[in-house]
Structure formats: structure tokens, C-alpha cells
Amino acid sequence: WRAGIAIPIYLIMSMLAISSGVGGGLFWVPLFTALLQFDVKSAAALSQSCVAGGCIGGTLYSFMQRHPHDQERPVMDYNLALVLMPALVQGISFGVMLNYILPSLILSCLLIVTLLLISARTLHQGIKMVAAERRVRLEAQAREEELETRRSPMSPGYTDDETATFDEGSVRSRQ
């Protein structure tokens, strides 16, 4: 029964994680340990294979995409990817060594701390994004209300462009 609950949750989490570009490994380890009762080391290994599969799918999809501002360029920056690869390989090697050396309790604590830090950062960024979107929406609404006020027949200085006539000669004679 646990697998029946874990699979739909995994499906939804993987769709959200891969579409947002975060991989999802930090979310899958707690899922695998809590619902499927894997130990932390086995859950981390399974999570890494899931992330690898998602990365392969996302990379294949991104190969076909073009840059939104310059259709001549691909959406992926291959030079940056090549620069980041050595750091990625070193990080993987260090992580594998830590997974082998550290006991499960310490790995669980590190996982929880990392998850909390990432969650707090994501929440902070989300709050900033909502505030910025709200500000833009309010500015657009204020501009629209200002335009509506200018168009209103009750506003000062309103002229109906279709019926108003402008006689340049009478304006010059009054000056």
C-alpha cells in the first residue's frame, strides 16, 4: 500500500521538480525513507538515479529549444556547462565519500538542514516574486484607471474628439 501512495506523490513531485529545474533529489529522499522505508543511504542512491533520469530527459528536451531572445542561439549555454562539469564531478566524488563515511543519522541531519535552508530560500524568493508581480499589477491598474478618468465625460478638460472643432483663426485672434 505504501508504494501505491508513493508513486502518485513521486509523479507529481517529479513533474514540479523537473519543470522548475531543481532536480528533486532533496524531496525524494524523505519520500523514499518515510513511505517506502528505505534507509537514508539507499534512498539517496535511488534519488540520484531518479535525478539522473530527469536530467537526461530535460537535457534532451532542451536540445530542441531556442533562446527566447535570440533564435540563433540554443537555450543551453554549452560553454558554461563545460566550465561547470569539473566542479560537478568533484562534488559527486566528495558526496559519494561522505555517503560512505558518515553514519545514516548524520546524513539525515545534513539532509534536513539542507532541505530547510533551500525551502527558506525558495519561500523568500517566492515572496519577493509575488510582491513584484503585485506591484506591477497595481501600477498597470493605476494607469488603466488614469486613462479611464481622462476618458470620462465628468472629468475636467474632457473633450469629445469627434464633435470638438478647433478653429485656429479664432485662437490666434484672441492672443
Residue 36 above 80 pLDDT?
yes
Q: In which element (H, E) is residue 56 found?
A: helix 40-63
Pick the closest to residue 30 from 8, 15, 47 (CA basis).
Answer: 47
What would the pLDDT profile of 82-134 be if each residue is shown by its tens digit?
Answer: 898 899 899 989 988 888 898 888 888 888 898 889 888 888 998 999 999 99
> Between these two residues, 8 and 165, which has the higher pLDDT value?
8
Average confidence (pLDDT) over 1-25 = 79
- Looking at residue 114, its pLDDT comes to 85
Query: What's the whole-model pTM score?
Result: 0.51
8 A C-beta contact, residue 47 and residue 13: no
Do 89 and 52 form a contact (C-beta atoms < 8 A)? no
pLDDT of res. 174: 46
Return the percentage of the chain with pLDDT > 90, whole number: 10
Instruction: Count CB neighbours of 9 within 10 A.
Output: 13
